[in-house]
Amino acid sequence: MKKLIALLLAVLMVAALAACDTQQPADPKDTTPPATNPSGNTEPSKPAEEGFSFIYEGVELIPGAPFDPSALPEADSIFTVPSCAIEGTDNVYSYPALELTAYNDGSGEVIYSIYLTDADTSTTEGLYVGDDLARVTELYGTTYTENGTELTFTKGSTCLCLILNDGTVISIEYRMVV
């Protein structure tokens, strides 16, 4: 059941991205170098205490931080889409457990959002799709904004956005605050 929900959410996210414009594969001729931090390693450029972060394949991913695609295994697919939040375009990297959206800030790619697509993948704190509101508040507290069925927890320049249906988490996304 959790996998069916995750698949449905992935289809909905693709549809939402298509609403901005038609998806096109990333341009293989694009020679813009990926973002790296000054040390050249996979460490994020700012500590997780400043915002929400997600660890995938041993790499800490932080919305608003530089993204080096070579730090992760090869993405299943990469699409370039017009950005709904930032002027220009975004690259959407699809991995088995998540979709990562990054934009180019002129010096390299920056993580805009991390959307969990696998119901068997938890947040750093241990929240899964399928958990209830009691589990959400146990892990993140009660300081959040509510917009319809979406709960948004803000930490620094990042937010954790959860969509609930009948008190059950059906979507988990980390985003940069814009």
* Residues 32-89 pLDDT 10s: 333 333 223 333 334 445 899 999 999 999 999 999 999 999 999 999 999 876 778 8
pLDDT at site 49: 53
Taking residues 10-18, what's their average pLDDT? 36
> Residue 105: its pLDDT value, please?
86
Burial of 131 from C-beta contacts in 10 A (0-12 / 13-18 / 19+): buried
**pLDDT exceeds 60 at position 109:** yes
pLDDT band at 107 (very low <50, low <70, confident <90, very high): confident
Q: Which pLDDT band holds residue 106 (cuts at 50, 70, 90)?
A: confident
| pTM score of the predicted model | 0.73
- Structural tokens at position 104: 């180019």
How confident is the model at residue 3, as a pLDDT? 45
Q: Is the pLDDT reported for residue 10 higher than 70? A: no
* Residue 12 scores a pLDDT above 70: no
Query: What pLDDT, on a 0 to 100 scale, did the predictor assign at position 62?
Result: 97
Residues 32, 44: Cα–Cα separation, whole Å: 20
Amino acid at 56: Y
Q: What is the pLDDT of residue 22?
A: 35
Res 172 pLDDT > 90: yes
Which residue type occupies 137?
T
DSSP states of the chain as a string?
-HHHHHHHHHHHHHHHHHHHS--EE--TT--PPPP--TT-SSS-SS-GGGB--EEETTEEE-TTSB--GGGSPPPSEEEEEE-SSSSSEEEEEE-SSEEEEEEE-SSSEEEEEEEE--TT---TT---TT-BHHHHHHHH-S--EEETTEEEEEEBTEEEEEEEETTEEEEEEEEE--
| Residues 153-160, mean pLDDT to the nearest whole number | 96
The whole-number pLDDT of residue 83 equals 83
